[in-house]
Chains A and B, each alone.
Chain A
């Protein structure tokens, strides 16, 4: 069953800032997204969960138009962006921050240069202003003083935090997190969770987090969406997902394998 993508509430729900309408994505014969429709609300943290390879990261890449849908529409505010040429996307992308799963720090640049890069490319700020910005962003993720280090000298958790500092370098309206806690030990993963909450609280950003880490999802989310075989099968709050009767949702939340997978073993 395709769930309702908007919930009734006593107060006016926040405006939808991103909307995907009947989005299909095929890679050759492989159907990754099978007609998903969802609106993501401003100022909220929406977590998309689902098994590995279910297409969670593909959704993020559609939102920022790194991928185009095979069929369907992607809207940012009132503008349809899936048909825009690359050149017209630059000002829209500047409103987004993206934390990549592998951090994607430029390994030929120092930490400071990595964070300065988008500021230097897209603004006319002076060298001293950029230095000040870099210092402030690094302080926000608790890593001020690492400006002259190289990405190869950082631990996995530090790399994620530097990547996060770079993602917020231009004070984005929306931050997209692709598996932010994957590969980190629980305390380091929790540092990232705390940072997601802190950024949402202090900067008032809209966040979309893709993860299969239920602890992270429960901690940071206002809303949880579960993707299964190309469709959303759950849309609700982190409390509601724990009470879900759907066997597929329960298997994921409780960490059991799906019945159909068990049969193939």
Chain B
């Protein structure tokens, strides 16, 4: 048993080391690549793939989360006499937590899995080796554009998720429950600060970059055969999902502490 634990620990630490080296190599190509037109021409089709094709699922997710939050909270807020502040609960939850996390999970599921499958198949069919043989670095060629696409478009998708959720909350509050629209938006504008939007935005950048690195790493080093590619896709999604939840906790804790340290506690009621 001790041997099994030791072996598992060693393999986990080795995997962390490998992903660290992989990330370092990617960043070494990323910085000069930002100033090369070729990097952006490679990234353009991926922007479409990551952004445009993920947008519908993000819009649906954001809308229904906003609807559910509003429906679930209305009775409790009404009992406490705070129903006109329902927008605060819905919008703040979305902007700070649910928007980045749900958009991240959607990107990990729809885009991360596809990236791992694509790169895994390229590895299995020796296309990645072919790139190396032709004197081209496959990390520069394949990983940098995918990283850029996820890094830049996850925050945009998060913005749309937040927007749809807030509008869905407004629909329940104003159209169905009769809360004045002016009051709804007044309290939202009062409670949601630039700080909250920035924290949510920052989280989505971290999630987007992390998803791309995990997905590309899993594809690059997947085992041979159809089973290897399938397993890599599953591992990619699970690892991205865990990364999102764990980093969300740490970023949330860090920035909540910072906010209280700088501005003091702010009551929303």
Contacts and interface: CB of A to CB of B under 8 A. Distances in A.
Interface of A: 61, 64, 66, 86, 89-91, 93-94, 96, 98, 100-102, 104-107, 117-118, 121-122
Given A98-B133, A101-B126, A117-B134, 19 more contacts: A64-B133, A66-B129, A66-B132, A66-B133, A89-B135, A90-B135, A91-B135, A93-B133, A96-B133, A98-B130, A100-B126, A102-B125, A104-B127, A104-B129, A104-B130, A107-B125, A118-B134, A118-B135, A118-B136
A118 B132 CA distance: 11
A122 B127 CA distance: 17
Contact of A122 (B125, B130, B135): B135
A178 to B, nearest CB: 9
Contact of B125 (A104, A117, A121): A104
Contacts of B129: 61, 66, 100, 104
Contacts of B134: 93-94, 117-118, 121-122
B75 interface: no
Interface residues of B, number: 11
Nearest to B129: A66
Interface string B122-145: 000111011011111100000000
A105 B130 CA distance: 8
A176 to B, nearest CB: 9
In the A-B complex, the 8 residue pairs with the smallest Cβ-Cβ separation, listed nearest first, are A90-B135, A104-B130, A104-B126, A118-B134, A98-B133, A93-B135, A94-B135, A100-B126
Interface in B226-263: none
Contacts of A90: 135-137
A102 B135 contact: no
Contacts of A121: 134-136
A38 to B, nearest CB: 21
Contacts of A93: 132-135
Interface in B86-140: 125-127, 129-130, 132-137
A240 B222 CA distance: 43
A101 B129 CA distance: 12
B126 A106 contact: no
A118 B131 CA distance: 9
Q: Is the contact region of chain B dominated by helix, strand, or loop, or is it mixed?
A: loop
Nearest to B137: A86
A106 B136 CA distance: 14
A102 B130 CA distance: 11
A106 B129 CA distance: 11
A125 to B, nearest CB: 15
Nearest to B134: A118
Contacts of B137: 86, 90
Contacts of A91: 135
A107 B136 CA distance: 17
Contacts of A105: 127
Contacts of B126: 100-102, 104
Contacts of A61: 129
Nearest to A64: B133
A236 B263 CA distance: 83
Contacts of B130: 98, 100, 104, 106
Contacts of B132: 66, 86, 93
A182 B136 CA distance: 27
A94 B135 CA distance: 6
A104 B132 CA distance: 12
7 contacts: A90-B135, A93-B132, A105-B127, A106-B130, A118-B135, A121-B134, A121-B135
Among B126, B135, B136, residue most surrounded by chain A Cβ atoms (within 10 Å)? B135
B147 to A, nearest CB: 18
B127 A106 contact: yes
A89 B133 CA distance: 9
Nearest to A169: B134
Contacts of A94: 134-135
A96 to B, nearest CB: 7
Contacts of A106: 127, 130
B91 to A, nearest CB: 41
A170 to B, nearest CB: 8
Nearest to A66: B129
Nearest to A96: B133
Nearest to B136: A121
A251 to B, nearest CB: 29
Contacts of A86: 132, 137
A153 B129 CA distance: 23
Contacts of B136: 90, 118, 121-122
A117 B82 CA distance: 63
Nearest to A117: B134
A117 B136 CA distance: 10
A118 B135 CA distance: 8
A153 B97 CA distance: 47
A153 B135 CA distance: 27
